[in-house]
Amino acid sequence: MPIDLEICVSSVESAIAACAGGAKRVELCSALSEGGIAPSAGLIDAVRAAVAMDVFVIIRPRGGDFAYSDREFDVMRRDIIEAKTRGVNGVVLGILTVDGAVDVPRTRELIDLARPLEVTFHRAFDLCKDLDRALEAVVDCGADRILTSGGEADALQGAGRIAQLRERAGDRIAIMAGGRIRSWNARELALRSGIREVHSSLNNGASSPGAGLHPRDSGRVEFCVLEADVRAFKAVLDSIAL
């Protein structure tokens, strides 16, 4: 079976590179330096018009933790409705309680609102105190997949735990590995974990054309994805599947 590759992007150019390099889909975010927040309507439209591939949009109102106020939760609802009108294929979200568990009622409400789009529960999952219990909670909420590093700083460190989660999940929900995965460690991760879906940012820092023009700007860095990097990563995954 092939191993699907999802690339996290924050620009039209990066989405085009991901598509040309052979990725299955993109996760569209803004503010990747904050871990990704919901993109603007304009960016969603531009990416949707530029690529003929699956586009998933992150639903996250701010950086920081994943326990949201009532007003922030309302923003997430509105962002889902907005994304649905713009022809995306899925949304990516995650809500936790203050004590480190999946917020089941709110997560279920957002997933129901998002349908018929696909739904990924993102790496807020890795902050849960009990990953086995969190897995069952996300399954109960009705999500299609979980993005996880196995609770570790990176997916390779968490490969054994990812394998356990995948086995526990069975056919009920897909487990997608993410967290500092690159072409040089993807083979080992896939062989150790048995996953069939991989998520990576593949971002290369590049200076913005306007960097340094403002006295307070020490040199802003753009996050970009290169087609060659995506193609090389995809080649590694395809070689594992043979």
CA distances from 133 to 29, 50, 102 (A): 28, 40, 9
pLDDT on residue 223: 85
Q: Domain extents for the chain? A: 4-241
Residue in this structure with the two tokens 């753009």, named with its chain if needed: 222
Please state, rounded to an integer, the average pLDDT across all residues of the chain.
94
Distance linking the first and last C-alpha atoms of the chain: 8
- Label residue 221 by pLDDT band (50, 70, 90): low
State pTM to two decimals: 0.94
pLDDT on residue 215: 55
Provide the β-strand partners of residue 164.
none
pLDDT digits (tens, 9 = 90+) for 87-141: 999 999 999 999 999 999 999 999 999 999 999 999 999 999 999 999 999 999 9
pLDDT digits (tens, 9 = 90+) for 157-178: 999 999 999 999 999 999 999 9
CATH of domain 4-241: 3.20.20.380
Q: Is 90 helix (H, G, I), strand (E, B) or coil?
A: strand
